[in-house]
Structure 1
Amino acid sequence: MMVCSSNVLILYYSFSNHFIGVGKSSLITALIKDTFVPNIQSVLPAITIPRDFSSSPYSPNATVLVDTNSQDIPALQKEIRRADVIWLVYSDHYTYERISLYWMNIFRSLGVNLPVVLCANKSDLSTSLDSDRTISDEFIPILKEYKEVESCIRCSAKDKYNVSQAFYLCQRAVTHPISPLFDAKEGNLKRNATAALSRIFFLCDKDQDGFLDESEFLALQKKCFGRSLDINDLADIKQAVNQVKEGTFGLRGLTEEGFIILNKIFAEKGRHETTWGILRTFHYTDSLSLNDKFLYPVLDVPSTSSVELSPIGYRFFVDLFLLFDKDNDGGLNEEELQSLFKPTPGVPREWIETNFPQTTVRNEQGYVTLQGWLAQWSMTTYLDYKTTLSYLAYLGFESAAKGGTTVALKVTKPRKERVRSGKNYRIPVNDRSVFNCYVLGSSGSGKSSLLEALLGRQFSEIYNPTIKPRIVVNSVELKGGKQVYLILEELGELEPAILDNQSKLNQCDVLCLTYDSSDPNSFHYLVELGQKHSLISSVPSIIVALKADLDRQQQRCDIQPEEYTTSLNIPSPLHISSAWPSSLTELFVQLVEASNAPASATPGLEPEVPNDNLQNVVLATSAVGFMSIMSLWIWKMSMQQK
């Protein structure tokens, strides 16, 4: 595979350090001047090397080489703490012994965790036999003992041998560190690296058959490195992987285990920049976590706007559902859900807290249907769009358009307010398709049954008081066939706190105020609710008489429901029963309509003066003004005549 370019540090320190006489200053000079300069000063000033100097596509925008004086301990310690990589040079047996006895202990005592590039300088003084002995007797023991040592190389400033290569290794130790990927002592990829690569394999296995077939493998290559592989390269990779474990790159393609083996081979052969090319293409940081800017891109959302899935976002979640519905039964069972969420931290925490999948539509077997799946994501996006953005990233959402995962969302127009007769009210917003409703009412009024009815579930005689908040979501078809999503929330013990919180009420589009029409003591709760929590008068409200199939009772209250709604200029109570499906449909539609036309259901809002009456008022006012002017003119003329 071809190694790829990547984002690197804008500025870092490459730190060359050892005894005077090992040739470190000569190495720096040979690197800069491309020639050997004898009799140079023992310590050079810091040198900044621009990116253009290096032929490597991985070099940072600038590299600062800091030569050091090992006798000036305070300055030395300061530079070590500022460094990003240490270029450690030795030239003979004595200076080699000092690596273990002195320098590695110094680095560790300072608490730094820096990569070290070990350089055996003055190779021009040795023979080829010495070269082999250096590798076996010097490099290998150091690599085994110190995990900080990322690579070793023989150099000669005099012969300009491997000088640029050593510098490249220093850069690569920062831009493509081996330590997060590979445990040299264990001889295996580290757990975090394996987990990241497993997730990448999962996302690239587009048909989810457990193999990267040739087209999927080449697509990964092209995505990460901008070019495909020829037949010979692909054959070499297959052979290398199968030599480690037969059958991991077979006729059906590369298995997940084979993919891990392939990247282990890269690490062992010093080609770990290839693995980093893959990881960084999929937005992994040096700590092998996903980049926060990738998970949570900036999305400008005005305070009174809401966030919904765009058509692109809905298409992505539809395709995801169809891909993981392996048995084609129209529902995602627990095993299929676990498989779908494999490249993520798991089912979103918010879903678990709200008792998913009870929050949405399921089939007779209890599996989440496509309707319920889309409704659940619509609700998640409305209530916490950042969760949706992060899961789009985890699940491998890709778009050709600029903007990343944000193109899967849309921000609605800000909701504005007007004033009529001293009363603030919301004006319609016509681009919303997700609406949030708080369901309020006395204990036993039927709130929970109403939530169950939205999901199409049968009425249950068993009464379970709601203590913890409950939430459900489903689609609602409006007149004309438009589909929208309605969220119903039962607040439980949090009700008082939420109703006195203006920001929480701003997130609510409409209130569903329920009472049990067969219980004479039920309606009084709503009257007291309005008196205790004055903020709710700013939210459109629909009053609902539940259990309407039972005998209606006169309410023991100073004001009856019909009088109450009339006094507030809101619609008369809707009489609803779980036994009357059409009445439930009418209620859900009216809740959405009240959200779309807030003025029609805002408590205490005076009716708008009809246009014809307004026109008469304007004409009458104009006539009065005209007569006043005429009277003034006649009086003035009469005074002049006198």
Structure 2
Amino acid sequence: MAGGGSAAGKGDAPTVRIVVAGDAKTGKSSLILTAATDTYPPNVPPVLPPTRLPDDIYPDKVPVTIIDTSSSPENRGKLVEELKKADAVVLTYACDKPATLDRLSTFWLPELRRLEVRVPVVVVGCMLDKRDEQYPVSLEQVMSPIMQQFREIETCIECSAFRHIQIPEVFYYAQKAVLHPTAPLFDQEAQTLKPRCVRALKRIFILCDLDRDGALSDAELNDFQVKCFNAPLQPSEIVGVKRVVQEKLQEGVNEQGLTLTGFLFLHALFIEKGRLETTWTVLRKFGYNNEIRLSEDQLPPPIKRHPDQSVELTNDALDFLRRIFFTFDIDGDGALRSNELDDLFSTAPENPWSDAPYKDAAEKDALGGLSVDGFLSEWALMTLLDPVYSVENLIYIGYAGDPSSAIRVTRRRRLDRKKQQSDRNVYQCFVFGPKEAGKSAILNSFIGRPFPEEYQSTTGDQYAVNVVDLGGAKKSLVLREIPEDEVKKLLSSKDALADCDIAIFVHDSSCEASWKRAADLLVDVASHGEATGYEMPCLIVAAKDDLEPYLTEIQDSTRVSQDLGIEAPIPISTKLGDFSNLFRRIVNAAEHPHLSIPETEAGRSRKQYHRLVNRSLMFVSVGAAVAVVGLAAYRVYAARKNASS
């Protein structure tokens, strides 16, 4: 493989913006002017205006703009503003003033961290000509402890503007640190490629291994070279590349060609030799950005939808996922174990389900394996919550279709209510209820978790997702538990209930206080839905049916459900595993959303008011019409009268 290629910097900006900072009198302005004009300036202004280097000064031909700064207290605001806009920072110290070097680790570098300026830093010792030659200093010796402490330092260099020593190199290293940063690719301490870099290169290797034999043949290696560097490899060069790998790493080459191990070794070698541009060119040709994630142009455009529309995977994407599942189910036991799942996501930046809200959100078997339904359920949840992230991960694991063909936007929920039917495949159910009502137990049971013996309070939203079989038709149901303490915050937003297909209100049927709180929550939520136009079907769930109900529980809950015009409470016992077909009933109610929408007293009053207003407007418009007709008739009469006279 050969080097070469260019790339845009942070945010694909057309120029690289380098901010030069440091203590006063450390040679900042002289450094910039000498780099821009190639002559040493006898008189230097206190702070230079933004300075543009010639576009062709460096091989990448990406324009460089250098920003000079003042370290005086009165210019502090301007300095902070410029640092926050920087693509890279050059920190200067004076070679003849050790105190200015100490200030880098005691002030400047900590200050960049405090300001959250997360860009590459190049440390530059200016005025090298003024250092006392009798006291030679090893730059490596001086800078090694600082670089250990501050990993954001990309490189260190000493220069002299007066003697024209290493001036262009300063800004070359700064530009290179932006265009070809080391940090995302290589762990300097361990001297190895970083995991995310390995994962991206593995994906690229698989994409280039067209015959899927686990090695890049000479022809595949040549195609790769042409794609990345626009130049073919001569047969002798291919032989040379493979020889270099085989000498250092025997398993890097086999009879079929260059193996993945050899491919990764080559990139580590390029990086160790300072040729980061080679690896970056490869990554960018395959659509990666500086975070080693797919760049935005590789993903679907922003999804235009109303708050009450959701996003689901298409049949194309689901078929692809089923194929992938069975490809990675190596032992053929119908479940993906953790090692098989890690292998499946080994070409993604990380396993997207290793953290909340996806971790443990789907049903697993006794050995911790995901069935096909559990696997597809996790994808359904990810697509519902973060559709672009879901498509991004589809691409990482090998989805080759148009990214937009993987997802579809559903019909608006208000239209579903009007048409009295929903055609969604994924329904989201909000689970409300007071503390200790049994909300978490319902989520746990839904995904096959054992009933917990001790109560544990839930903090933050929890999700559980599974497939519900409606007698042939399968739907995905997402249960979102909303802690009692979070309800007020949730309802403070106008669109809080927009993405809710159905809500259930859980109470402990043995506790009157639990029922009263659940009833209050039901009225609050239903009222919010009525006021914002996001009404949704609601069900009451009487949990802990294995306990003795409080005295008037059945009468109270039945009366409230009748007053609101919804189904009678559903008794369940998670402890006994008796769910009264709860999950099917939730999906059925979501599929026919017009049947279980509660009507509160406030809602009835609002409707009555609107009916009165509409009736009044109708009388007004009828009266106006009569008046207009009367006026027209009078004009006709007047015209005839005038004509006859």
Q: Shorter chain as normaliser: what TM range?
A: 0.5 to 0.7
3-state SS of the aligned residue for 2:198?
helix
2:538 aligned residue (537, 541, 556):
541
Q: 1:266 to 1:107 in 2, by over 3 A?
A: farther
The residue aligned with 2:594 is 599
**Does structure 2 retain, via aligned residues, the 8 Å contact 1:578–1:584?**
no
Q: 1:232 to 1:544 in 2, by over 3 A?
A: same
Q: 1:597 to 1:218 in 2, by over 3 A?
A: farther
Q: Give the CA deviation at 1:474.
A: 1.4
The residue aligned with 1:566 is 562
Establish whether residue 276 from structure 1 lines up as the match of residue 272 from structure 2: no
Unmatched 5+ stretches in structure 1:
32-36, 67-73, 89-98, 119-140, 154-161, 419-424, 608-613, 638-642
Whole-angstrom distance in 2 between the partners of 1:446 and 1:415: 28
Unmatched 5+ stretches in structure 2:
21-25, 69-74, 110-120, 127-137, 145-153, 160-165, 530-535, 605-610, 635-645
Q: 1:553 to 1:407 in 2, by over 3 A?
A: same
Q: 1:544 to 1:270 in 2, by over 3 A?
A: closer
Establish whether residue 303 from structure 1 lines up as the match of residue 307 from structure 2: yes
Whole-angstrom distance in 2 between the partners of 1:265 and 1:223: 21
**Does structure 2 retain, via aligned residues, the 8 Å contact 1:360–1:474?**
yes
Q: Give the CA deviation at 1:378.
A: 1.2
**Does structure 2 retain, via aligned residues, the 8 Å contact 1:427–1:597?**
no
Whole-angstrom distance in 1 between the partners of 2:229 and 2:390: 29
The residue aligned with 2:640 is none
**Does structure 1 retain, via aligned residues, the 8 Å contact 2:364–2:374?**
yes
1:473 aligned residue (465, 481, 492):
465
Q: Give the CA deviation at 1:61.
A: 3.9
Residue 542 of structure 1 aligns with an amino acid whose one-letter code is L
Whole-angstrom distance in 2 between the partners of 1:532 and 1:178: 54
Residue 369 of structure 1 aligns with an amino acid whose one-letter code is S
Q: 1:496 to 1:275 in 2, by over 3 A?
A: closer
3-state SS of the aligned residue for 2:467?
strand
Q: Provide Cα deviations, 1:579-626, integer angstroms capped at 9, x if missing partner.
A: 9999855x434322322433311112799xxxxxx9xxx9xx99xx99
**Does structure 1 retain, via aligned residues, the 8 Å contact 2:184–2:292?**
no
The residue aligned with 2:607 is none
Establish whether residue 501 from structure 1 lines up as the match of residue 490 from structure 2: yes
Whole-angstrom distance in 2 between the partners of 1:175 and 1:243: 31
Whole-angstrom distance in 2 between the partners of 1:114 and 1:144: 17
For these two proteins, the number of residue pairs brought into alignment is 534
2:375 aligned residue (362, 373, 376):
373
Q: Give the CA deviation at 1:145.
A: 8.3
Residue 412 of structure 1 aligns with an amino acid whose one-letter code is T
**Does structure 1 retain, via aligned residues, the 8 Å contact 2:18–2:64?**
no
Q: 1:103 to 1:546 in 2, by over 3 A?
A: closer
3-state SS of the aligned residue for 1:536?
helix
**Does structure 1 retain, via aligned residues, the 8 Å contact 2:571–2:580?**
no
The residue aligned with 1:199 is 199
Establish whether residue 483 from structure 1 lines up as the match of residue 474 from structure 2: yes
Whole-angstrom distance in 1 between the partners of 2:559 and 2:87: 78
3-state SS of the aligned residue for 1:241?
helix
Whole-angstrom distance in 2 between the partners of 1:429 and 1:559: 32
Q: Give the CA deviation at 1:235.
A: 1.7
3-state SS of the aligned residue for 2:206?
coil
Establish whether residue 114 from structure 1 lines up as the match of residue 122 from structure 2: yes
The residue aligned with 1:69 is none
1:361 aligned residue (360, 363, 369):
363
Q: Give the CA deviation at 1:262.
A: 1.4
Q: Give the CA deviation at 1:340.
A: 3.7
Residue 336 of structure 1 aligns with an amino acid whose one-letter code is E
Residue 314 of structure 1 aligns with an amino acid whose one-letter code is L
Residue 569 of structure 1 aligns with an amino acid whose one-letter code is G
Whole-angstrom distance in 2 between the partners of 1:508 and 1:199: 36
Q: Which range moved further: 445-454 or 250-259?
A: 445-454
Q: 1:346 to 1:461 in 2, by over 3 A?
A: closer
* Backbone CA RMSD of aligned residues: 6.2
Q: Provide Cα deviations, 1:55-74, integer angstroms capped at 9, x if missing partner.
A: 94x211466799xxxxxxx9
Q: 1:584 to 1:526 in 2, by over 3 A?
A: same
Whole-angstrom distance in 1 between the partners of 2:269 and 2:332: 39
Whole-angstrom distance in 2 between the partners of 1:256 and 1:243: 16
The residue aligned with 1:328 is 332
Q: Which range moved further: 436-445 or 593-602?
A: 436-445
Q: Give the CA deviation at 1:274.
A: 0.7
Whole-angstrom distance in 2 between the partners of 1:85 and 1:441: 53
The residue aligned with 2:117 is none
Q: Give the CA deviation at 1:329.
A: 1.5
**Does structure 1 retain, via aligned residues, the 8 Å contact 2:432–2:521?**
no
Q: Give the CA deviation at 1:201.
A: 3.2
Whole-angstrom distance in 2 between the partners of 1:528 and 1:241: 70
**Does structure 2 retain, via aligned residues, the 8 Å contact 1:249–1:258?**
yes
Whole-angstrom distance in 2 between the partners of 1:180 and 1:387: 20
**Does structure 1 retain, via aligned residues, the 8 Å contact 2:374–2:466?**
yes
Q: Give the CA deviation at 1:501.
A: 3.1
Q: Which range moved further: 104-113 or 365-374?
A: 104-113
Whole-angstrom distance in 1 between the partners of 2:341 and 2:305: 31
3-state SS of the aligned residue for 1:321?
helix
The residue aligned with 1:510 is 502
**Does structure 2 retain, via aligned residues, the 8 Å contact 1:6–1:277?**
yes
Residues 152-171 of structure 1 aligned to structure 2 (within 5 Å): none
Q: 1:542 to 1:237 in 2, by over 3 A?
A: same
Whole-angstrom distance in 2 between the partners of 1:182 and 1:505: 45
Whole-angstrom distance in 1 between the partners of 2:170 and 2:548: 90
**Does structure 1 retain, via aligned residues, the 8 Å contact 2:64–2:175?**
no
The residue aligned with 1:121 is none
Q: Give the CA deviation at 1:54.
A: 6.7
Q: Which range moved further: 170-179 or 274-283?
A: 170-179
Q: Give the CA deviation at 1:303.
A: 3.0
**Does structure 2 retain, via aligned residues, the 8 Å contact 1:182–1:190?**
yes
**Does structure 2 retain, via aligned residues, the 8 Å contact 1:117–1:149?**
no
The residue aligned with 2:533 is none
Whole-angstrom distance in 2 between the partners of 1:179 and 1:511: 47
Whole-angstrom distance in 1 between the partners of 2:271 and 2:431: 58
Q: 1:488 to 1:464 in 2, by over 3 A?
A: farther
Q: Give the CA deviation at 1:315.
A: 4.7
Residues 56-455 of structure 1 aligned to structure 2 (within 5 Å): 56=59, 58-61=60-63, 102=96, 113-114=121-122, 172=176, 175-176=179-180, 190-191=191-192, 193-204=193-204, 206=206, 212-214=215-217, 221=225, 224-225=228-229, 229-251=233-255, 253-255=257-259, 257-267=261-271, 269=273, 271-281=275-285, 290=293, 298-311=302-315, 313-315=317-319, 317-342=321-346, 343-346=348-351, 348=353, 350-351=355-356, 356=360, 359-363=361-365, 365-385=367-387, 388=390, 391=393, 395=396, 399=400, 401=402, 408-416=406-414, 430=422, 432-439=424-431, 450-451=442-443, 454-455=446-447
3-state SS of the aligned residue for 2:7?
coil
Q: Provide Cα deviations, 1:45-103, integer angstroms capped at 9, x if missing partner.
A: 9985664x5794x211466799xxxxxxx9xxx9x9999699x9xxxxxxxxxx99559
3-state SS of the aligned residue for 1:472?
strand
**Does structure 1 retain, via aligned residues, the 8 Å contact 2:309–2:410?**
yes
Q: 1:282 to 1:115 in 2, by over 3 A?
A: farther
Q: 1:179 to 1:579 in 2, by over 3 A?
A: closer
Whole-angstrom distance in 2 between the partners of 1:532 and 1:167: 62
Residues 580-599 of structure 1 aligned to structure 2 (within 5 Å): 585=581, 587-599=582-594
Q: Give the CA deviation at 1:371.
A: 0.9
The residue aligned with 1:126 is none
Whole-angstrom distance in 1 between the partners of 2:548 and 2:562: 19
**Does structure 2 retain, via aligned residues, the 8 Å contact 1:415–1:429?**
no
**Does structure 2 retain, via aligned residues, the 8 Å contact 1:434–1:486?**
yes
**Does structure 1 retain, via aligned residues, the 8 Å contact 2:320–2:399?**
no
Q: Give the CA deviation at 1:407.
A: 6.0
Q: Give the CA deviation at 1:200.
A: 2.3
What percentage of aligned pairs have identical amino acids? 23
Whole-angstrom distance in 2 between the partners of 1:399 and 1:363: 31
Residue 559 of structure 1 aligns with an amino acid whose one-letter code is Q
**Does structure 2 retain, via aligned residues, the 8 Å contact 1:439–1:490?**
yes
Whole-angstrom distance in 2 between the partners of 1:166 and 1:448: 59
Whole-angstrom distance in 2 between the partners of 1:567 and 1:26: 83
The residue aligned with 2:130 is none
Indicate the structure (1 or 2) with the bigger Cα radius of gyration.
1
